[in-house]
Amino acid sequence: MNQEPHQSEAEDFAREDMQPDYQFDYTKAKPNRFAPKQPDGSLVVILEPDIAQVFSTPDAVKRVLRALIATMPPVGTHSRNTPE
């Protein structure tokens, strides 16, 4: 005796009640009081899945970025060879 799975009334209501698109006013957003505080000057970056597979920890990302920064010219120098 096979019965098809039955959705609950709550699931049916949730689907009917969902709008296809929502517009959020992020100017009224408040910080998540439960999230850990980030140090001043920090920047949060979302890694794409292929990159996150290679750099799976924050320390791994920081090590590679710091190694890359060490190979770059100091900030504020011009890399163009144009006369002034």
Q: Which pLDDT score, from 0 to 100, does residue 66 have? A: 95
| Token representation of residue 35 | 């999230």
Q: Which pLDDT score, from 0 to 100, does residue 80 have? A: 55
Q: Which pLDDT score, from 0 to 100, does residue 53 have? A: 94
3-state secondary structure of 65: helix
Which residues in 1-35 are b (16+ Cβ under 10 Å) and which e? Answer: eeeeeeeeeeeeeeeeeeeeeeeeeeeeeeeeeee
pLDDT tens by residue, 47-70: 999 999 999 899 999 999 999 999
pLDDT tens by residue, 7-48: 666 666 666 777 888 888 989 999 889 988 888 998 889 999
Number of residues assigned to the chain: 84
Domain ranges within the chain, ordered by starting residue = 37-72
1 pLDDT above the threshold of 90: no
